[in-house]
Amino acid sequence: MPGGLIDRSAETALVALQGPRAAVILQRLTSLDVSAVRRYWSAQAELAGTAGLVARTGYTGEDGFELFVPAEHAVRVWTACLAAGRADGLVPAGLGARDTLRLEAGYVLYGQDMDRHVSPFEAGLSRLVHFESGTFIGRSALVRQKERGVTQKLLGLRMEERGIPRSGYRLGRDGQVLGHITSGTQSPSLGVGIGLGYGPPETSPGTELWVEIRSRQVRARVVKPPFYRRSTE
């Protein structure tokens, strides 16, 4: 209806095609000029004989695309993607792999690293706040917080000793608990444990902290995400 919204979530599927060869593989499935789709832009296209939406977006830190298609055609598109990318080493990957990649890229996960009680200024997302755009919900609260400063901020942590920081683990220094871990994993690209967590706003990159892992204080160092940046070559 005019001016209304239609929720098509139940009838729409998403297939994410991610990685350095994503554009090459996708081009084999569509007549759309994939190279013309800019980062964060989208275009209507036919994908393996199915009408859909191609968005140059993702949650992996790599180049890639998210393909929105009717749910009843999802298996066809999925199968076509695998066939088109077989020679390039394309393999299926689940949420565990995706979560590792987003952590290496330093991407926050809503409900894990931030929620409705955490502001963009605390979560390292101040670049997304544009006061000059006019009135919006929460604007006055954000203006006050910017003026007064935050009491916590999201930190990137790279383990200096063997150990994996996990959600809920305590974070501290000199015997004092300063915050907590929100996400963590073993980084396959770096070969060390990495994590995100909240600590004092004055904490700067290079600061040594500890993460309490199984009742043991394990050394970690504050770093500025991303932990790993993909090659652009």
**Residue extents of the structural domains in the chain:** 9-92
Which tokens is 204 given? 């700067």
134: region left, alpha or beta (phi > 0 left; psi from -120 to 50 alpha): left
d(CA 221, CA 143): 31
Confidence of residue 3 (pLDDT cuts 50, 70, 90): confident
pLDDT (tens digit per residue) in 175-233: 999 999 999 999 999 999 999 999 999 999 999 999 999 999 999 999 999 999 887 64
Compute the average pLDDT of residues 49-57: 97
pTM exceeding 0.75: yes
Identify the CATH number of the domain defined by range 9-92: 3.30.1360.120
In sequence order, the β-bridge partners of residue 137 are none
Closest by Cα among 59, 97, 93, 89 to 78: 93
Give ∠ CA 193-168-161 in degrees, rounded to 5: 25
The predicted pLDDT at position 232 comes to 61
Say if residue 132 is exposed, middle or buried (CB neighbours under 10 Å; 0-12, 13-18, 19+). exposed
Distance of CA 111 to the CA centre of its chain: 12
